[in-house]
Amino acid sequence: MLTGCQKPSASSTPLDIPAPSQDAASVENPIADTTILTTDPTANSSWQSQFAAVLSRQHDTLLITEQAITAEQLSQLAGLDGPLEQLLIDAGGVDDDSLSDILAVKSLVHLRLRECRLGDRGFEQLGMSGLNALRILNVPQSQVTSRGIASLASLHSLVQLRLGGAQLDDSAVAEIAKLPKLRSLHLIGPSLTDAALSHLANAPSLTSFYLDDCPLSDSAWELLFEAKPKLHVHIDQQHHDRDPHQH
């Protein structure tokens, strides 16, 4: 049984990255459509003005919403000497072959790549990137499988992960569950069985789980809540009725 809850807003509402001592209620809204803007560049600002603001250390965010990022723009990132902490690309333009320019930005804390079909090769590059500050990774149209997800284990600061795609299966969730600091997980349209929830029961730091377009049995959810009674859960953007933080 599900009880209603409003769908998270797609606006740029500030998102606090939880400290280890905070409880699940503080991470109720997952990384889906939020940003952690410490400055406020608008979605309508040109690439040139946003990039100049980062170079001058007035902003720490690049937000690209209307058009795919170009190869020329990506090449500018590779030589960036500025405090870029958030790169939010919403209209594609990045694939496994062009990811390397982004990975040269070691200051990244939040990376969102919508309409970017990164596969295992791209995720393996992520794992070898040395992005030690990266805490939020959001790739909702990914092509990654368990092989690529296993590479994320080397991203020691990763606390929030959002992935989508029918290729995400139980073995992918088994790898996700091994990420030691992961607190918030959002999966969109995966191909899971009840066994996936048994893997998440062993995730050491997980406090929030959102799942869309993937029905699982009530008995599997009951077993997960037995293992993690304080887990915050949304199914298809509604609170599970066992969720201790529902409103």
pLDDT at 2 over 80: no
Q: Are 184 and 208 in contact (CB under 8 A)?
A: yes
Average pLDDT, the chain: 84
3-state secondary structure at position 175: helix
Q: Is 141 exposed, middle or buried (0-12, 13-18, 19+ CB in 10 A)?
A: middle
Encode pLDDT of 56-77 as tens digits.
899 999 999 989 999 999 999 9
83-120 burial string, b = 16+ CB within 10 Å, else e? Answer: ebbbbbbbebbbebebbebbbbbebbbbbbbbebbbbb
Tell me the one-letter amino acid at 131: L
pTM attached to this predicted model:
0.83
Q: Are 42 and 66 in contact (CB under 8 A)?
A: no
- Encode pLDDT of 104-159 as tens digits: 999 999 999 999 999 999 999 999 999 999 999 999 999 999 999 999 999 999 99
Q: How confident is the model at residue 241 (pLDDT cuts 50, 70, 90)?
A: low
Residue 5, both tokens: 């809850």
List of residues 6+ apart from 125 with CB closer than 8 A: 96, 99, 100, 103
- Hey, which CATH number is domain 146-247, 3.90.226.10, 3.40.50.300, 3.80.10.10, 3.40.50.2300? 3.80.10.10
